[in-house]
Each structure stands twice: as structure tokens, then as C-alpha cells.
Amino acid sequence: MTTPPRVTFFHAPQTRSGATRALFEELGVDVDMHVLNLKAGDTRKPEYLAVNPMGKVPAIRHGNALITEQPAVMMYLADLYPGAKLAPPPGDPLRGPYLRWMVFYGSCFEPAVVDKSMKRDPAPPSTSPYGDFDTMLKTLTDQLARGPYLLGESFSAADVLYGSALNWMTQFKLV
């Protein structure tokens, strides 16, 4: 019996990769953490750009698989460790809503938050990925009001993802 490869986690403190670090804690698994120093420009060095040409964290390597983009990293990990029950399995009625909220993060939530934090107007509604900030946020808060978690009574990787982001948003008074 072969031992499955360990996950290598590329992390920079005080960045969005903190949510992935929190997810590893929820999963209760060991990881090979590769800490990058943003002030030293580690994410712009050729060694890291070979991992993620965008120079962003988080990223993970698992065997021959290289995964970037925070929601994709978190979905991969939640599926990789099904015993932690942080992702509804395929066929579960909550799988679709789980995937919706994981994808909503990168396609709607984060672009809206970035535009708001930069004091930029969104693109016209017909071309904006999120419409407008208030509608995006109401969509999320209406779902959270059904709580206690995004999926109702089921805690998932989506809660780790949004918990970290909402903490950041409140610290910077974006909500």
C-alpha cells in the first residue's frame, strides 16, 4: 500500500491564504507549508511564478496536481479529505448550493469587494460579474440569515472561506 502524497501549501501571512490555513486546521491534517514573504517579493520570484504565474496565494501541490485560486483550492481540499465532512458529496442535495457559494465567492463577492475597497464604480450591470455591491451583499446576507451556516445546519468549507473574508471586510469597514 502506498502512502498518498502530502499536500504542499504555499502561504503568505496576512493574505487570503489565511482562510486556507484555517481550512487545514478544520480538516485536521498535516501539510507541508511553504511560507512566502510578501515584503521580500517571494510571490514575484521565478520559483513561485512557476507555481502560480499570477503570483497569488494560496496555491497547493498534491502529487502532480497544482491548484490555484482560493475557492478551487478549498473545494479540492474539502473533497480530498471527505472524512472531515466539509463538502457535501456528489449526489447530496446540498452539493449544488455548496458549489454555488464557493463559485459565487470568486465570481461575484470578491470582485464587488475589491471595487468597493478601491472606491471604483462597477461595470454597467449588463457586463458586471456581480451587478452591484448592495445586491451582491444582500444575496449573501439573505442566505446567511437562514443560518447558522451557508448551507443551513451544515458547516462546510464555504463557511471557512466567507468567515475569513467577512472578518477582513469588517476590519476594513467595508460592511
Q: How far is CA 155 from CA 38, 53, 78, 98, 150, in A?
A: 32, 33, 12, 10, 7
Q: Is-contact 5 63, C-beta < 8 A? A: yes
**Averaged pLDDT of the chain:** 93
- Grade residue 154 by pLDDT with cuts at 50, 70 and 90: very high
Residue pLDDT, tens place only, 54-104: 999 999 999 999 999 999 999 999 999 999 999 999 999 999 999 999 999
CA distance 16 to 13: 8
